[in-house]
């Protein structure tokens, strides 16, 4: 592969990486905006909100997978793990706890909320699930922003 071709390919994959990461990082901020008020606004809106958040989840999973895949391709194009700075590798490893929190905390809390309101239960008894969902969201976002800092800043 010529140097120019390799550079263009690296640049193209990096653009895909940054676009996918923007959706993975920015999407949840937008999706969760106003959720606390919606969960307190009565069972109908609360149920619709839990359903909306569950239905948008696949978009964030796909953007996460594209971010990870394009990141892995960047590592390959750079010449392998030994050619990549440690901060990038630490950032890449931090996607593991994001998936753990998403699968063990975030999604189960949303499913509990949906079922809770579908069963006609009230807003006050849903509070532990709302708290669990919001904490999972905050932890995931802190991890994603930490990865962003690690990827961008030449520490």
Chain contacts with ligand HEM (rule: CB under 6 A): 17-18, 21, 24-25, 67-68, 71-72, 74-75, 84, 88, 91-92, 95, 144, 147-148, 151-152
Residue among 58 and 120 whose Cβ is closer to ligand HEM:
58
Provide, rounded to whole angstroms, the least separation between the CB of residue 6 and ligand HEM. Answer: 13
| Rounded distance between C-alpha atoms, residue 4 and residue 8, angstroms | 6
Provide, rounded to whole angstroms, the least separation between the CB of residue 146 and ligand HEM. Answer: 9
| Rounded distance between C-alpha atoms, residue 84 and residue 12, angstroms | 18
Could you report how far apart the first and last alpha carbons of the chain are, in Å?
31
Provide, rounded to whole angstroms, the least separation between the CB of residue 58 and ligand HEM. Answer: 17
Provide, rounded to whole angstroms, the least separation between the CB of residue 51 and ligand HEM. Answer: 26
Q: CB neighbours (10 Å) of residue 13?
A: 18
18, burial (CB in 10 Å: exposed 0-12, middle 13-18, buried 19+)? middle
Residue among 95 and 123 whose Cβ is closer to ligand HEM:
95
């Amino acid at each position: 592969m010529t140097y120019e071709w390799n550079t263009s390919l690296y640049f193209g994959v990096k653009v895909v990486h940054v676009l996918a990461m923007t959706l993975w990082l920015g999407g949840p901020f937008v999706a969760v905006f106003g959720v606390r008020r919606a969960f307190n606004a009565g069972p109908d809106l609360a149920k619709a909100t839990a359903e909306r958040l569950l239905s948008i989840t696949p978009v964030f999973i796909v953007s996460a997978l594209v971010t990870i895949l394009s990141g892995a391709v960047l590592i390959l194009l750079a010449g392998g793990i030994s050619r990549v700075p440690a901060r990038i590798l630490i950032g890449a490893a931090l996607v593991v706890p994001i998936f753990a929190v998403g699968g063990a905390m975030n999604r189960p809390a949303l499913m509990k909320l949906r079922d809770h309101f579908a069963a006609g239960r009230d807003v006050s008894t849903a509070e532990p699930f709302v708290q669990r969902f919001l904490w999972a969201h905050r932890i995931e976002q802190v991890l994603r922003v930490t990865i962003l800092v690690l990827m961008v800043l030449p520490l």
